[in-house]
Amino acid sequence: MPSWPLNQWYVAAYSEEIGDGLLGRTICGEPLVFYRTGEGDVVALADRCVHRRYPLSRSHLKDDQIICGYHGFTYDKTGVCVAAPAQKRIPRTARVPAWTVREQDSLVWVWIGDQELADTARIPRAPWLDSPDYTVVRGMEPLKARYSLLVDNLMDLSHETYLHGGYIGTPEVAETPITTEVDEDANVVYVSRHMDDAECPPFYSKSTGIEGRITRWQDVEYYAPCLYLLHSRIAPAGILPPEEGPDDQAFHVEVTYGITPSTEHETLDFWMVSRDFALDDEKVTEFLATNNHTVVMQDVVALDLLEEVVESEKENYQELSINIDTGGLAARRILAKLVARGEGKTAEAKTVAAP
Amino acid sequence: MPSWPLNQWYVAAYSEEIGDGLLGRTICGEPLVFYRTGEGDVVALADRCVHRRYPLSRSHLKDDQIICGYHGFTYDKTGVCVAAPAQKRIPRTARVPAWTVREQDSLVWVWIGDQELADTARIPRAPWLDSPDYTVVRGMEPLKARYSLLVDNLMDLSHETYLHGGYIGTPEVAETPITTEVDEDANVVYVSRHMDDAECPPFYSKSTGIEGRITRWQDVEYYAPCLYLLHSRIAPAGILPPEEGPDDQAFHVEVTYGITPSTEHETLDFWMVSRDFALDDEKVTEFLATNNHTVVMQDVVALDLLEEVVESEKENYQELSINIDTGGLAARRILAKLVARGEGKTAEAKTVAAP
Amino acid sequence: MPSWPLNQWYVAAYSEEIGDGLLGRTICGEPLVFYRTGEGDVVALADRCVHRRYPLSRSHLKDDQIICGYHGFTYDKTGVCVAAPAQKRIPRTARVPAWTVREQDSLVWVWIGDQELADTARIPRAPWLDSPDYTVVRGMEPLKARYSLLVDNLMDLSHETYLHGGYIGTPEVAETPITTEVDEDANVVYVSRHMDDAECPPFYSKSTGIEGRITRWQDVEYYAPCLYLLHSRIAPAGILPPEEGPDDQAFHVEVTYGITPSTEHETLDFWMVSRDFALDDEKVTEFLATNNHTVVMQDVVALDLLEEVVESEKENYQELSINIDTGGLAARRILAKLVARGEGKTAEAKTVAAP
């Protein structure tokens, strides 16, 4: 049984990554190939030719069809083979599975599981990623670590103080208690940390221009399994949101993650930073892109190391959890529930469009 | 049980590779060390000192004897230990297995299996490799792929069109149907593809000087498990072999492969290109060596990738085969038969020459 | 069951390696972190935070306490957690195991096994490592090989002739028979090789200035499992130790090894060369450091290669042993006895100092 839930939407790519070429990416253990048709639709097919399983992502795209780079088997956008070498008749079984994809908020999502159930689940939103009111920097780092280590990491931001000191961490992040809420029906975990009088880390001081201490709010929403939202509110110390009207004395940063399992020991770490200030300031854009990339790479190094630790761990190893872990533990519990729901099913149970 | 047949001849090296040094090479899972005696004979011994199993290939050759590089155990060409450190008496069991080797057509063949059966099987011929009527370019590339993937590759040349386009592939190779014959007694598979009016790929246009379209014949003989011959006939379109007399209006290229399993996931890919034209033209020699090496490396990249794919494949994966695969499927069937014949035996069942 | 004995002292580091930083090192499969307190004591703790098992060696040392680099859990020198993020109360189970360490003869030893038994066993001595009468060069090389291969290597110095020819090996080392004694109670193996008239290898001719042939004695003491002593006596040929009084016409080199298993396939190879001559001659010091490092690296290459050989070996492989192996075989027998004694126990059975 895989360690990720089936019958779920996962972030497969940024919309802008899928253009007129072939993109191979393994999502939840499924090797997939993505491309965009002339009409602009995103296609996801199994990345294995039916003939000798050559990766279609190493092949050629022509007229919305993939021509296998090994022997030329040709597939249309539904995965049906429409040409094969040296013969006219194409076997009826010559087709590769097609996967259901959706584009929303500049993200390409793929449904992993029973394809007929895709429309029964809503894809969570992150509208600022595709809004004129925000400027976004983003990237993707492949982790050599299981996805649950990234979930743990993001659900407990007290690590900012120690792993990201000098970038986004200050003493107050680790010192301030959190509140946690869980929506068991929607499979969402909320974690909040409101710092009233905190040091301003370089990430925010250099991007907002604030000098002196700040009010810093971190409000996390984790839509298990894949979408993580951190609503970050920064304002000079003492400035709280008004009772009524817009919170325009504060700076808002929406930190968004797509946490996509690739294999049991690899994860695609999609990270996005959206801000509602200095929208056209290239220097701020450049600073946040560079600074956040550094922060992400600090996590990559730590998580890749932890994966090695976990892999080499003796059996029956017991972790110790404390108050800061309530969000992470809730996330684990929800993930375990979702994984168990998918038990006995396989991602293979997918339909193919009729030719 | 190994995936290769036992009691078979395998290409271990080119004759010219074995000179006055020690050559270590793993053939069908057997670590072997090769050298040439002063009298010119090729010797193959197990590449493990009997004492602490140090590789003899990392040792010293002196007077036709190998002196182990770790503690100095010394072996003669029959594998018998003739000297050991700090004592005169040599234990009678101090000997390493010697393997039966033959040189033929500039290739060194080794018999993997029961050494007493070596003379019961004929080594297939490739006489052009050692003939004044041909000029040969050759090389060896180690694959990180099982040998059966190379057999698949070579038995279905329709891949030339897609993997080797711009080098040896043209549309007609993939478009033209093949005929397949199998000699079940001799374990030979024949595949023929005769193209009457085909584009001339750079490999042949630049080496032969032909301008315009060609008649191109590909006649494959695969002597399972190790020797693969592609008789390639190239002539201007319309020129067929005469009813009688020499086919001297055509150009002939003998493409020869030694397909030697090294380990279960590694293969030695010996490739040789012999031509009967422009024998002394260094530019043609250089061109064919470079061009064919490029083609081989395209296969190496593809097959190493396929090995990863096959290794990571879910169980019960089903390939789809079509007409072009009749040769490859016949080869697989013969290999399976030969492997089954060796079942219950091991390559270990080898004799050692008496001292 | 591990392949090394439990309830034993192992060399973990040189004293000088442990200063005001954190040193992570895996000893007998146990990831440990070492540091030195302000008072000068060496501390060894398990290198895994109790919270999310982040390596403490990647953390911060402050006021004799380790602050975890991930979330800031803070440990004192007994392994007790004294601070955790965002809460005052520290769980009573928040402690990491502390390991018993001793410094002796400039080496840091750690007791692997039941910590309450540490004082029941004596640490063997190598007093020249920390004596004004000797000058020492030293280093540590990590092997990608099991520790038993290093034990084999050092117990049979006939390999000096073949693996280290031109450095410390000459023909006489391999030619001269050895005598072996075993102290079964103390678990010590003695191997002696006295060469009366031998070539002087560069290692000794360049460091001592002796020209011409030498008397060369090699007297090995191996204190299983970890400490190996080679008492090397070099003098011009014919000069034997006097009946009475100091042996001051000879040069003495104490070659010392700490043979510390790290994992089942990795070993820490601590090597030390102590001499009682030319104590202040920097050129001799530099020469011996460089020359011996070269010799050690020749062993590293050979042993890493042997590890691959042993790992890929077919089952039931039989080695052949001869007279030169009596010391090595005795060492293996003692190690097997010590390993068996530890059976059913685990290194986990360790105590932690009460807070």
> Predicted confidence band at C353 (pLDDT cuts at 50, 70, 90)?
very low
State the amino acid at position C122 in one-letter form. Answer: R
Q: Are C24 and C32 in contact (CB under 8 A)?
A: yes
**Mean pLDDT for all residues in chain C:** 95
Say how far apart CA B7 and CA B337 lie, in whole Å.
13
> What pairs with residue A25 in β-bridges?
A32
Which overall architecture, per CATH, does domain A8-120 show? 3-layer Sandwich (2.102)
Flag the least confident range among A134-148, A182-196, A315-329. A315-329
Specify the pLDDT at position B347. 55
Specify the pLDDT at position A317. 80
Specify the pLDDT at position B128. 98
Closest approach of A76 to chain B, Cα-based (Å): 17
Q: How far is CA A87 from CA A83, C175, C334, in A?
A: 8, 73, 71
**Mean pLDDT for all residues in chain A:** 95
Show Cβ contacts of residue B255 under 8 Å, excluding neighbours closer than 6 positions.
B229, B230, B232, B271, B272, B273, B274
Specify the pLDDT at position C27. 98
Between residues 163 and 182 of chain B, which touch chain A (CB distance below 8 Å)? 163, 174-178
Q: In chain C, which residue's Cα lies nearest the Cα of B73?
A: C162
Chains that touch C (3 or more CB pairs under 8 A): A, B
Q: Are C124 and C223 in contact (CB under 8 A)?
A: yes
> Predicted confidence band at B135 (pLDDT cuts at 50, 70, 90)?
very high
Q: In chain B, which residue's Cα lies nearest the Cα of A81?
A: B320
> b/e per residue, C254-283, with b = 16+ CB within 10 A?
bbbbbbbbbbebbbbbbbbbbbbbbeeeee
Specify the pLDDT at position A316. 74
pLDDT more than 70, % of chain C: 96
> b/e per residue, B216-236, with b = 16+ CB within 10 A?
bbbebbbbbbbbbbbbbbbbb
Question: Is the pLDDT reported for residue C218 higher than 80?
Answer: yes
Residue C71 touches chain A, beta carbons under 8 Å: yes
Residue B114 touches chain A, beta carbons under 8 Å: no
What tokens appear for C226 in the block? Answer: 């970890």
- Condensed to tens digits (0 to 9), the pLDDT of residues B149-206 reads 999 999 999 999 999 999 999 999 999 999 999 999 999 999 999 999 999 999 999 9
Specify the pLDDT at position B348. 52
Question: Is the pLDDT reported for residue C95 higher than 50?
Answer: yes
> What pairs with residue C227 in β-bridges?
C223, C258
> Predicted confidence band at B233 (pLDDT cuts at 50, 70, 90)?
very high
DSSP B42-104: EEEEESS-TTT---GGGSEEETTEEE-TTT--EE-TTSBEEEBTTBS---TT-B--EE-EEEE
- Condensed to tens digits (0 to 9), the pLDDT of residues C108-144 reads 999 999 999 999 999 999 999 999 999 999 999 999 9
Specify the pLDDT at position C276. 98
Q: What angle do CA C139, C141, C146 make, to 5 degrees?
A: 140
Please report the number of interchain residue pairs, chain A to chain B, with beta-carbon separation below 8 angstroms.
Answer: 71
State the amino acid at position C220 in one-letter form. Answer: V
Is A50 in contact with B319 (Cβ distance < 8 A)?
yes
C36 SS3 class:
strand
- Condensed to tens digits (0 to 9), the pLDDT of residues B268-318 reads 999 999 999 999 999 999 999 999 999 999 999 999 999 999 999 877 788
Torsion angle (degrees, nearest 10) of CA A11, A30, A144, A274:
-10
| Cβ count within 10 A of residue C333 | 14
Q: In chain A, which residue's Cα lies nearest the Cα of B174?
A: A85
Closest approach of A299 to chain B, Cα-based (Å): 28
Fold of the domain built from segment(s) C127-341: Naphthalene 1,2-dioxygenase Alpha Subunit; Chain A, domain 1 (3.90.380)
Closest approach of A109 to chain C, Cα-based (Å): 31
Question: Is the pLDDT reported for residue B353 higher than 50?
Answer: no
Residue C349 touches chain A, beta carbons under 8 Å: no
Flag the least confident range among A110-119, A187-196, B314-323, C303-312. B314-323
pLDDT, average across residues B110-128: 96
Q: In chain B, which residue's Cα lies nearest the Cα of C163?
A: B70
Specify the pLDDT at position C349. 39
Sheet with A81-83: strands ordered across? A60-62, A65-67, A74-75, A81-83
Closest approach of B232 to chain C, Cα-based (Å): 41
Show Cβ contacts of residue A171 under 8 Å, excluding neighbours closer than 6 positions.
A161, A199
Question: Is the pLDDT reported for residue A349 higher than 80?
Answer: no
Question: Is the pLDDT reported for residue B350 higher than 60?
Answer: no
Q: What is the pTM of this model?
A: 0.94
Which of B158, B174, B320 is facing A94, going by the closest CB pair?
B320
Say how far apart CA B314 and CA A73 lie, in whole Å.
22
- Condensed to tens digits (0 to 9), the pLDDT of residues A230-271 reads 999 999 999 999 999 999 999 999 999 999 999 999 999 999
Specify the pLDDT at position B315. 72
> Predicted confidence band at B351 (pLDDT cuts at 50, 70, 90)?
very low
Question: Is the pLDDT reported for residue C241 higher than 60?
Answer: yes
> Predicted confidence band at A344 (pLDDT cuts at 50, 70, 90)?
low
Q: Where in chain C is the domain with CATH 3.90.380.10?
A: 127-341
State the amino acid at position B333 in one-letter form. Answer: R
Q: Where in chain A is the domain with CATH 2.102.10.10?
A: 8-120
- Condensed to tens digits (0 to 9), the pLDDT of residues C303-333 reads 999 999 999 987 778 899 999 999 999 999 9
Question: Is the pLDDT reported for residue A48 higher than 90?
Answer: yes
Closest approach of C52 to chain A, Cα-based (Å): 6
DSSP C37-102: -TTS-EEEEESS-TTT---GGGSEEETTEEE-TTT--EE-TTSBEEEBTTBSPPPTT-B--EE-EE
- Condensed to tens digits (0 to 9), the pLDDT of residues B55-83 reads 999 999 999 999 999 999 999 999 999 99
For chain B, the residue count is 355
Question: Is the pLDDT reported for residue B36 higher than 90?
Answer: yes
Specify the pLDDT at position C352. 45
Outline where chain A has alpha helix (H).
Answer: 147-155, 159-163, 171-175, 202-208, 282-312, 326-341
Specify the pLDDT at position C124. 97
CA C187 distance to own-chain centroid: 16
Question: Is the pLDDT reported for residue C351 higher than 70?
Answer: no
Q: Are A248 and A235 in contact (CB under 8 A)?
A: no
Q: Which of C95, C101, C111 is nearest to C36 (CA)?
A: C101
Q: Where in chain C is the domain with CATH 2.102.10.10?
A: 8-118
Q: Which of A154, A133, A110, A98 is nearest to A14 (CA)?
A: A110
Specify the pLDDT at position B313. 85
**Mean pLDDT for all residues in chain B:** 95
Specify the pLDDT at position B318. 86
Specify the pLDDT at position B331. 98
> b/e per residue, B61-100, with b = 16+ CB within 10 A?
beeebbbbbbbbbbbbbebbbebbbbeeebeeebbbbbbb
Which overall architecture, per CATH, does domain C8-118 show? 3-layer Sandwich (2.102)
Q: Which of C216, C211, C99, C82 is nearest to C161 (CA)?
A: C216
Question: Is the pLDDT reported for residue C219 higher than 80?
Answer: yes
